[in-house]
Amino acid sequence: MEKNKLISIVIPCVNEEENINRTLDGILNLIKDHKYSFEIIVVNDGSKDKTWEVIRRYANTHHEVKGINLMTNFGQSAAYMAGFDLAEGDYVITVSADLEIPLENISKVIDYLDDGYDFVNTNRVGRWGGGKSGRAKQSGLANKIIGKVSGVYVKDRGSGMKGLRRNIAKNLKLYGEMHRFIPDYVSVYGPRIVEFDVEFKDRDFGQSYYKGHKRTFKVLLDIVTLFFMLYFSRKPFKAMPGRLFGFTGAVVSGIGGLIALYLLILKIIGQSIGNRPLLTLSVLLIIVGIQSIMLGMLGELMMRVYFESSNKKTYMIREIVE
């Protein structure tokens, strides 16, 4: 039965005409004598160059290659979802189009999945100067915070090479830029997770179009949503919006709190604050901030219900014996 196992490789790409042919050639050469069958799903996420022409050429000449051409740039999460939805393999492996991770590591990912792991992550060793740069320290701090929130401790959430079993890939629902939290979202189902080190190699051509400005700030905001969705997924009847906070509500309530603190100091030094408009303003801002927090979290939940139509299960079956 193992010889009939199918492996799906999903490659999201934007403006990678100089890299995607090298990536596909490398994968096709790797799988040539492999014991398993493969399908290679390349998702063109709104490229402005000739990336789609390259993908189309490979799809016409190699039966293993399938191309998905998105109408515009929807983002990496949407590109992953398009690939996952089309994938038919027993295992689903994500690969970056820029060859930042040597392709031979695909075989190691498959070996770990064969060993019974449900999710395989890779840690890019040597990225950002081997962990000594400010960006590396910043990323490490973010990983620790996310680990505290989700309970999943991996070194490199942003690595482009990951391996998932089919049932997990099919149950993933990624919105916005939530692809960076894939290890955390799969943790809802209690999978066996493993991570191994891989060599990091800077791209030879072009630049990554999946790197946004102010990413650290965006990640901090996404952690709020991650906490809410993980808590709701694991304990759907105990999710209390009042325990969570969103950006707008936090800012508004914070301003109100600062004003209240200022008035408290004035009160302590003997000044009257009862008739000051600032007192009314601080109370109003705190109340509005709390309401914004709760509305934001409820709105996030309503969006998920709208897109998923309440079909998402809160459990995952590993095996059925009859």
Q: Give the CATH number of the domain where residue 32 resides.
A: 3.90.550.10
Residue 134 CB neighbour total at 10 angstroms = 9
Q: Are 40 and 67 in contact (CB under 8 A)?
A: no
Do 120 and 173 reside in the same domain of the chain? yes
Confidence of residue 153 (pLDDT cuts 50, 70, 90): confident
Span 168-177, pLDDT tens digits = 999 888 877 7
Do 117 and 256 reside in the same domain of the chain? no
Q: What is the pLDDT of residue 314?
A: 43
Do 102 and 205 reside in the same domain of the chain? yes
Do 266 and 171 reside in the same domain of the chain? no
Residue 32 within any structural domain of the chain? yes
Q: How far is the C-alpha of 181 from the C-alpha of 174, rounded, in Å?
A: 9
Do 179 and 247 reside in the same domain of the chain? no
Q: How far is the C-alpha of 100 from the C-alpha of 48, rounded, in Å?
A: 22
Count of structural domains, the chain:
2
Do 65 and 29 reside in the same domain of the chain? yes
The reported pTM is 0.70
Q: How far is the C-alpha of 244 from the C-alpha of 232, rounded, in Å?
A: 11
Do 184 and 291 reside in the same domain of the chain? no
Residue 67 within any structural domain of the chain? yes
Q: How far is the C-alpha of 201 from the C-alpha of 125, rounded, in Å?
A: 9
Q: Is 16 helix (H, G, I), strand (E, B) or coil?
A: coil
Residue 197 within any structural domain of the chain? yes
Do 111 and 260 reside in the same domain of the chain? no
Residue 318 within any structural domain of the chain? no
Taking residues 286-314, report their average pLDDT.
69
Do 149 and 85 reside in the same domain of the chain? yes
The contacts of residue 307 (CB under 8 Å, 6+ apart) are 173, 175
Would you say residue 122 has pLDDT above 80?
yes
Percentage of the chain modeled with pLDDT above 90: 35
Residue 220 within any structural domain of the chain? no
Return the higher-pLDDT residue of 220 and 284.
284
Mean pLDDT, the chain, whole residue set: 80
Do 14 and 116 reside in the same domain of the chain? yes
Q: How far is the C-alpha of 8 from the C-alpha of 65, rounded, in Å?
A: 10
Residue 119 within any structural domain of the chain? yes
Helices and strands (H and E) in the chain: how many: 10, 7
Q: How far is the C-alpha of 52 from the C-alpha of 70, rounded, in Å?
A: 10
Give me the amino acid identity at 214: K
Return the higher-pLDDT residue of 37 and 4.
37
Residue 313 within any structural domain of the chain? no
Residue 223 within any structural domain of the chain? no
Do 36 and 123 reside in the same domain of the chain? yes
Range of the domain at 263: 241-308
Do 174 and 246 reside in the same domain of the chain? no
**Range with lowest mean pLDDT among 216-220, 242-246, 277-281:** 242-246
